[in-house]
Amino acid sequence: MSLRLGDIAPNFQAKTTAGDIDFYEFLGNGWGILFSHPADYTPVCTTELGKTALLQEEFAKRNVKVLAVSVDPLDKHVGWVKDINETQNVTVGFPIIADEERNVATLYDMIHPNASETFTVRSLFVIGPDKKVKLMITYPASTGRNFYEVLRVVDSLQLTSNYSVATPADWKEGEDVIVVPAISTDDAIKKFPKGVKVVKPYLRYTPQPNK
């Protein structure tokens, strides 16, 4: 059965480029991103891992740990990391799982037979401190992922988990947010002292509450 939003993210133990890990212990009480790659030495994924390495500090600022997974063996990962560091001018500082037995791929339903019977699809999961799946995105092999969008979504998830708000289309950190429908306008005015702009009874904006 495939994972759905709100499900508990399965725990696992795995060999990685940073040593053996237990996934839950690796995450601790923070947020996590688990993202898969079809195989090592693939050009699109090389750029993706490079971009993730470039944004490591941004993820760390948000208390997010990043973990990549590929079905190739550990020694191949080590060589690939050298290539990524060289070609993308970065230093990969996060682990890459060697999932030769496809244990992680199976747990997270990363193999889609109609796309490939052997390689993982390019899935990305955001996992909250409660170990629940907060976001799932799956890309085709031909399209590189947008990791600035991943950061944007993490900002939204962290904000909306702490306040009674939602984020509108194309929202970015610092912009106005939407008051959730469950809160009446009268209660919203009390709850959000920066002000509430009522466009429609169901569409109310307020400045980002934690700014």
- For CA atoms 204, 158, 44, 70, the dihedral sign is negative
Q: Which residue out of 9, 27, 34, 45 is catalytically annotated?
A: 45
Could you give the CA distance from residue 77 to residue 80 in angstroms, rounded to a whole number?
5
The question of whether 29 is a catalytic residue gets the answer no
Pairing of strands 64-70, 13-16: unpaired
CA–CA distances in Å: residue 126 to residues 61, 66, 120, 130: 16, 9, 17, 11
HSE on the CB side for 103, CA within 13 Å? 12
Contact 207, 194 (CB under 8 A): yes
Which residues participate in catalysis according to the annotation?
45
